[in-house]
Amino acid sequence: MAMQETTYRDALKLALSEAMTADDSVIVMGEEVGRYGGAYGVTKNLISEFGPERVIDTPISEAAIVGAAVGAAMTGLRPVAELMYVDFIGMTMDQLANQAAKIRYMFGGQIGVPMVLRTQGGTGRSAGAQHSQSLEGYVMHTPGLRLAMPATVEDAYHLLRQALQQPDPVVFIEHKGLYTMKGVLDPDVEPAEWGRAKVLREGKDLVIVTYSRQVHHALAAAEEMASKHGIEAAVVDLRTLNPLDFDTIRPLVEQAGRAMVVSEGVMTGGVAAELAARITEECFDFLEDPVVRVAGEDIPISVSPLLEQNSVPTPDLIVETARKMFA
Partner 1 sequence: MKNSTLPKLYEDMRRVRTFEERVGELFVRGQSAGSMLHLSIGEESAAVGVCAAMQDGDTFTTHHRGHGIFLARGADPNRMMAEIAGKDCGYCHGKGGSMHIADMGLGHLGANAIVGGGIPAVVGAGLSARHQKSGAVSVAFFGDGATGQGILYESMNMAALWKLPVMFVCINNQYGMGTRIDQATANPNLHERAEAFGLAARTVDGLDVEDVAEAATELMDGARAGTPAFLAVDCYRFYGHARKDKSPYRAEAEEDEGRKKDPVLRAREKLIEAGLMTEADLDALDATVAKEMDGSIDFAVAGEEPQMASMFRDVYDPSQPEPEPVRVRLDRVLAQG
141 catalytic? Reply is: no
158 catalytic? Reply is: no
Contact between 61 and a copy of itself by CB under 8 A: the answer reads no
For partner 1, the binding residues in 152-211 under the rule CB under 8 A are 167-168
Can you name the residues that pair with 199 across neighbouring β-strands? 236
Contact between 22 and partner 1 by CB under 8 A: the answer reads no
| Residue from 108, 190, 227, 230 in contact with partner 1 (CB under 8 A) | 108
Which run of H or E residues covers position 16?
A: helix 8-22
Contact between 300 and a copy of itself by CB under 8 A: the answer reads yes
Count of residues of this chain found to bind partner 1 when the rule CB under 8 A is applied: 91
Residues whose CB is less than 8 angstroms from the CB of residue 295 and which lie 6 or more positions away in sequence, other chains included: 261, 262, 263, 264, 265, 266, 267, 270, 271, 272, 313
Least distance to ligand TPP from the beta carbon of 143, Å? 20
Of residues 49, 53, 82, 131, which has the active-site annotation?
Answer: 131
The distance of Cα 167 from the centroid of its chain, to the nearest Å, equals 18
Contact between 287 and partner 1 by CB under 8 A: the answer reads no
Contact between 248 and partner 1 by CB under 8 A: the answer reads no
Contact between 45 and partner 1 by CB under 8 A: the answer reads no
CB atoms within 10 A of CB 111: 12
Output 4 or 102, the one with its CB closest to partner 1: 102
For ligand TPP, the binding residues in 71-110 under the rule CB under 6 A are 84, 88
The site partner of 220 among ligand TPP, a copy of itself, partner 1, none (C-beta below 5 to 8 Å per kind) is none
Contact between 310 and partner 1 by CB under 8 A: the answer reads yes
Of residues 62, 82, 154, 264, which has the active-site annotation?
Answer: 62
| Residue from 95, 119, 132, 321 in contact with a copy of itself (CB under 8 A) | 95
- Which CA distances in Å does 199 have to 42, 66, 248, 279? 27, 34, 8, 16
Contact 87, 35 (CB under 8 A): no
Contact 79, 116 (CB under 8 A): yes
| Reduced 3-state DSSP string for 59-80 | CCCHHHHHHHHHHHHHCCCEEE
Contact between 205 and ligand TPP by CB under 6 A: the answer reads no
CB atoms within 10 A of CB 201: 17
For a copy of itself, the binding residues in 170-229 under the rule CB under 8 A are none
Contact between 299 and a copy of itself by CB under 8 A: the answer reads yes
Long-range CB contact pairs, 300-307, < 8 A, 24+: 300/129, 301/123, 301/128, 301/129, 301/132, 301/133, 302/128, 302/129, 303/126, 303/127, 303/128, 303/129, 304/126, 305/126
Least distance to a copy of itself from the beta carbon of 191, Å? 26
| Residue from 45, 48, 61, 180 in contact with partner 1 (CB under 8 A) | 61
| Residue from 31, 82, 136, 174 in contact with ligand TPP (CB under 6 A) | 31
Cα 9 from Cα 196, distance rounded (Å): 22
Angle made by CA atoms 321, 265, 142, in degrees to the nearest 5: 130
Q: Which residues are catalytic?
A: 62, 131
The footprint of a copy of itself (CB under 8 A) covers 63, 87-98, 101-102, 105-106, 128-130, 137-138, 140-144, 242, 244, 265-266, 268-274, 276-278, 280-281, 284, 287, 289-293, 298-300, 302
